[in-house]
Structure 1
């Protein structure tokens, strides 16, 4: 079984957070951005949604997969009390702090930009997935520690054999297909603070844990078949693209989502499983930057969108402003001030 540091999983968590930032920036240039409380540019760049629609079916599930995998490695060094304490510090504290001190800031910027009433109802906003992850840890830690105590039991042997076969990847998709069809959400790609997001996240979190728990066979499987997985996922995406409005039955979106994720795991394991100083830095910075990014995105939108310049230039400026603001805040405030580190879940 795997116990060594998995740098590819660390990289995928960083990449998943980066994709979420880019996704949120792109929303400001869509005709419906204002309806989900994003500051929206007057001139749209609807072509951006072509690549975003490809990401949209797997960006959030990937994050839950990786979070479940992270818990597997965490319990190798901890008992259940230590795990709950560590996850409370790393997830619950930033979640509560964000609701109190971060989310109200970008809500205020939106209200000010659109001359809305300056009131605020407590909400996790973009940090909703942290609350979900913490709930999954509480829900599954008895199962996880049971599996830890039986590292070579019958279930592990079954899982190892099952996930080492290409058909095992197909079987892994079945709970995701069932969730999509049974919950039947208004939109498959809308995950925040709804039943679909909770159940899909739970399935992905548990599946991520079991994939690592199964051992080397899963990683050999997705690495061997990574190009085929990519080809099928791309074909399903092209089908959505040609159908118009990126529509497809939910069961096909669930399949496509998993195929993209397995593809990412295969290529990640092949090329990213090695240490680097860049990874060490970004792995620590990822969550603090995600927690603060909406404030800088809204600030950038607030200043840049009224300018009489081309929308593509506005997009570039918003990206630069958002990333510089996030990294400067992390480097010179979050990273260096001890009590602030605690609020952002850092040691």
Structure 2
């Protein structure tokens, strides 16, 4: 597969944009976060729905993009590329981009809180940020950049699977799978149910460790999405039965997302997920989430392929923003949000201002990254050199 798939670029942009929308709403929902303002009741419902699909979509599209990253690369070259694209931005981020979030977190605390800090940022860096660590590098936090770390781990763990799938034997298996799905189109729903069943079965033996059960259910599902994205785009014939059922996937996905959001904002409480005595609620939550996420991902793929698979000047520029946008966005929201919340406006106005201002600033910073080879390297941006225009000889 050598031709660029433009709609995948659009979906990567959509996934990171949804991350900004989600985090811009966090100061106004009912869940604890770094900074909190006046509550907007509907935002909790909206964020519960949004969190169902934004990270699953990001992991799935990352798996699909790996087809191109691994296309002509050896295992060593691919691993080195993943290190440069993920670990270097992660390292830079936890040292330079994340600390302002930690500073704002402590600045926003009530003055009676032991962790409250009131000095300037440089005093925070040389004081609490550096001095509070109980062990070497204990002050480092990944915050939202955990995605880069797990994507790197997934990339290495899945590498033997990817190498096998692209071998003649692996491609033969994918070809047989395509034939099996084409023979009975309903079978494509097994691609939705399979990862969901795995997510249900993994935590069953860990009912006394709900936190570990939740982590396994989450990471196992994300890993399967990563591998599934690779397999489907390594053998694009597998996408045909998915595209043909786009309306059914859309209806099922939307229905389940709305049901999940309603259940866990109105009927049940999220605290049930951390109770070892209530594992059935945990299983119900992740089952609905997994079914809804995969159904919506397949629907979004199908409609994007139909409507967005064309080049554009904006897309050619914006696709290079993805890594910087993801790395910058939460810090921008936290810093701007600290000052926005002080305005004392009605909550809807504060939310609108924070969403718009953080979008504009994050886009500006992402574009700024493009103008230096060093910043592109630190933010994991890979850009091929633009061909120099051929200078026409002047006529006498």
Settle same-fold status: TM greater than 0.5.
Answer: yes
Instruction: Find the counterpart in structure 1 of residue 145 from structure 2.
Output: 127
On the 8 A contact 1:296/1:321 being kept in 2, the answer is: no
Cα distance in 2 between the residues matched to 1:79 and 1:243? 47
* Cα distance between partner residues in 2 of 1:111 and 1:242: 33
Q: 1:167 to 1:289 in 2, by over 3 A?
A: same
SS at match of 2:141: coil
Query: Matches of residues 293-332 of structure 1 in structure 2 within 5 Å?
Result: 293-332=329-368
Q: Within 2, Cα distance between the matches of 1:151 and 1:69? A: 20
Indicate the residue corresponding to 1:233 in structure 2: 253
2:30 is matched with which residue?
A: 31
When normalised by structure 1's length, the TM-score is 0.89
Rounded to whole Å, the distance in 2 between the matches of 1:284 and 1:208 is 21
- Kept in 2: contact 1:176–1:203 (CA 8 A): no
The superposition leaves residues 147-174 of structure 1 with CA deviations (integer Å, 9 ceiling, x where unpaired) of: 2232774312222224445333322121
* Corresponding residue number in structure 1 for 2:229: 208
Q: Runs of 4 or more off by more than 6 Å in structure 1?
A: none
2:316 pairs, out of 276, 280, 296, with: 280
Of the two, which has the highest radius of gyration? 2
Q: Structure 1 residues 181 and 306 mapped into 2: Cα distance closer, same or farther (>3 Å)?
A: farther
Residue aligned with 2:202, SS? helix
User: Secondary structure in 1 aligned to 2:265?
Assistant: coil
Seen in structure 2, the aligned counterparts of structure 1 residues 181 and 24 have a Cα distance that, compared at 3 Å, is farther
- Offset at residue 315 of structure 1 (A): 0.8
Say if 2:206 is the partner of 1:170.
no
Q: Which runs of 5 or more structure 1 residues have no equivalent in the other structure? A: none
What SS is found at the alignment partner of 1:177?
Answer: helix
Describe the SS at the equivalent of 2:166. helix
Q: Which residue of 1 aligns with 2:63?
A: 68
Give the 3-state SS of the residue equivalent to 1:264 in structure 2: helix
* Inter-partner Cα distance in structure 2 for 1:124 and 1:238: 31
Q: Are residues 1:138 and 2:127 paired?
A: no
| Cα shift readout 1:36-70 (whole Å, capped 9, x = no counterpart) | xx2110x2111123333222212111111111111
Q: Quick one: distance in 2 between partners of 1:240 and 1:331?
A: 37
Residues of 1 paired with 2:17 and 2:242: CA distance?
23
**Cross-structure match for 2:75:** 80
Q: Confirm or deny that 1:105 pairs with 2:110.
A: no
SS of 1:39's partner is coil
Question: Is it true that 1:221 corresponds to 2:241 in the alignment?
Answer: yes
Q: Deviations over 1:201-259 (max 9, x none)?
A: 111111111111232231x2222111111112222234335546265723233211211
**Residues in 2 aligned to 1:296 and 1:53: alpha-carbon distance in whole angstroms:** 22
The counterpart of 1:258, out of the listed 294, 308, 328, is: 294
How far 1:197 moved relative to its partner? 3.1
User: Is the Cα contact below 8 Å between 2:260 and 2:288 reproduced in 1?
Assistant: no
SS at match of 1:77: coil
Return 196-205 or 244-253, whichever deviates more. Answer: 244-253
Q: Which of 329, 339, 343 matches 2:378?
A: 343
